[in-house]
Structure 1
């Protein structure tokens, strides 16, 4: 009988093209790189080395810690670089996977998106094996790293365009057993503010992909303005430490927190966002941390081409805590000028 050739394996189901010198199952501490293939005019067989460290010390949970998903957000990368320097002395029960600059080209350029392919890594999941560099990174995280992890913590900030009141972002799982564990971890982190995430159908993010894998996922907005916010950095470092302790990776050495140590907030859709209706220069009338009332003036947009014309007045539609504000005065129509969040009553997550 004539032999029938086997159907080719779809590219999406083949192993990632990203390789590494790290053996994730090997006990002990390893520092190395993810080798992101990059063939270009100056280097036909080149790759981009993305630093990674893994500490594996016996049975226990696996925590994936990432920063630099957006390259202009620096509190996360700095917190994780400081953690990497502690790894030789750290005694854990389980495994830590630490990548301070996940979208490494963007981090080195200080830009939100990759300077090579203009890809936004946090809108690229689940990625593509044979895609752009950013899609290949997303595919590696989705196909290799997520299956190894129990919990993922992706550290963010507002980047160059916005500034946040340092806040942990939490996404409650739908499974009741996981939800109880997750609620305990949220309280253990003890951030002054925890924003309950609503992905609103956006399924291309790191968090949405982590949820599809059944991981417990945390995020955070720890500052912004493309600077390192000292308060945000301190909160990020404390949350990392508390998360490791809450998972059982580290013994509980930090002081116990009282119930309701963190206040839960939620963004109530369009009513909590403020957008520029026209281009110009934005003059804000609020600050981070302000308690805003519906109808309150958010600011004005001045038109440099008509300096004698009245400024366009912007008002808030809803009420709440000013959690985010635009960091750049120059705006185009449609730019986000900031957003609010409202307290979530106890027991209504």
Structure 2
């Protein structure tokens, strides 16, 4: 039996391997090999595509999509970007992973079909954990330490529809905040939302912030489809962000169509949750302005359709930025999310 190492760092080193050399100059494509031993493949792995372009000295920008597998605007935009990368002239390093939770992406599901892992709720991950936990661990230990700027692209997935918006995590340091707002304004989404996840700290974004990385996220559609308008916003916005970081110099990105409007989620009052099982009839539309006490919708009991429906009302005021696409609900399901304008 080989002697066991006393080096604690050994237990923290990722089990995911790759032929990509992050320090080499030029354009590389390859895969992250995620170990996956199962009944039909004892020594198998899951190959997750990745592309890297490095030219000289400059910032490192990490772009990821497919954190959830049923969100497509990000992956499509990043696959198109990869096809342009060989012709790009940059100063720094660009790392692109179109579908970070690749098993979920191939399965068109929010969570992994292998371990039901929700990648965006598993950080900082576990090198000895499930497939999804190993992915989170790799990002946290190998990618975040290399990155100066991270942009993770999302959408509402199958269960939500979301107005196109950047989700902002504003740094407290004035200099970093100014640098961050430069990127937000360069992307120029119709809205930039300061999110409140009600204490959730297992997300990709929370992990990136713990590394001191400038982190941006965004929601650009829903219904488990690739929204044409959302895709256009992502593609044009990414080109402007890469230019604003100094990574690209001659890409000539298109000018913004508008200035972004800053909005914020104000705690639990901006969430609408289902109190019980039922079929929900909405009385609002995405993007609509509502007031506290306004009728949000009616909840019908399919087992007792003769019983009066239960009316649900909004607890806060603001714009409906996210709406559930599934009419069937269970207790605790989020039906709608509001946000209200803020001044920075």
By the TM > 0.5 criterion, same fold? Answer: yes
**Residue 242 of structure 1 aligns with which residue?**
240
SS of equivalent residue, structure 2 residue 81: helix
SS of equivalent residue, structure 1 residue 112: coil
TM-score (norm 1): 0.94
- For 1:297 and 1:136, the matched residues in 2 are separated by 44
- For 1:257 and 1:227, the matched residues in 2 are separated by 25
**Residue 204 of structure 2 aligns with which residue?**
206
* Equivalent residue for 1:106, pick from 104, 107, 111: 104
**Residue 163 of structure 2 aligns with which residue?**
165
TM-score (norm 2): 0.95
- For 1:165 and 1:279, the matched residues in 2 are separated by 26
**Residue 288 of structure 2 aligns with which residue?**
290
**Residue 153 of structure 1 aligns with which residue?**
151
Confirm or deny: 8 A CA contact 1:171 1:198 kept in the other structure.
no
Q: Residues 296-311 of structure 1: matches in 2 within 5 Å?
A: 296-311=294-309
Q: Residues 1-349 of structure 1: matches in 2 within 5 Å?
A: 8-10=6-8, 13-251=11-249, 253-254=252-253, 261-345=259-343, 347=344
- For 1:199 and 1:174, the matched residues in 2 are separated by 18
How far residue 305 of structure 1 moved from its aligned partner, in angstroms, is 0.9
How far residue 262 of structure 1 moved from its aligned partner, in angstroms, is 0.9
SS of equivalent residue, structure 1 residue 111: coil
Q: Deviations over 1:282-319 (max 9, x none)?
A: 11111111111111111111111111111111111111
How far residue 232 of structure 1 moved from its aligned partner, in angstroms, is 1.0
Confirm or deny: 8 A CA contact 2:157 2:222 kept in the other structure.
yes
Q: Deviations over 1:199-257 (max 9, x none)?
A: 54322111011001110000001111111111111111122111101101112723555
Gaps of 5+ in 1: none
Q: Which moved more, 1:196-205 or 1:236-245?
A: 196-205
SS of equivalent residue, structure 2 residue 150: strand
SS of equivalent residue, structure 1 residue 39: coil
How far residue 85 of structure 1 moved from its aligned partner, in angstroms, is 0.9
- For 1:11 and 1:275, the matched residues in 2 are separated by 43
Confirm or deny: 8 A CA contact 1:106 1:115 kept in the other structure.
yes
- For 1:105 and 1:11, the matched residues in 2 are separated by 28
Confirm or deny: 8 A CA contact 1:61 1:95 kept in the other structure.
yes
Number of residue equivalences: 341
How far residue 58 of structure 1 moved from its aligned partner, in angstroms, is 1.1
How far residue 6 of structure 1 moved from its aligned partner, in angstroms, is 8.6
The alignment's C-alpha RMSD in Å is 1.7
Confirm or deny: 8 A CA contact 2:276 2:331 kept in the other structure.
yes
How far residue 91 of structure 1 moved from its aligned partner, in angstroms, is 1.3
Confirm or deny: 8 A CA contact 2:89 2:249 kept in the other structure.
no
Q: Deviations over 1:60-112 (max 9, x none)?
A: 11100000001111111111111111111111111110000100000000111
How far residue 120 of structure 1 moved from its aligned partner, in angstroms, is 0.8
Confirm or deny: 8 A CA contact 1:12 1:129 kept in the other structure.
no
For residues 257 and 49 of structure 1, do their structure 2 counterparts lie closer, same or farther at Cα, with a shift above 3 Å needed? closer
For residues 12 and 218 of structure 1, do their structure 2 counterparts lie closer, same or farther at Cα, with a shift above 3 Å needed? farther
SS of equivalent residue, structure 1 residue 128: coil
How far residue 57 of structure 1 moved from its aligned partner, in angstroms, is 1.1
- For 1:11 and 1:111, the matched residues in 2 are separated by 34
SS of equivalent residue, structure 1 residue 91: coil
For residues 102 and 333 of structure 1, do their structure 2 counterparts lie closer, same or farther at Cα, with a shift above 3 Å needed? same
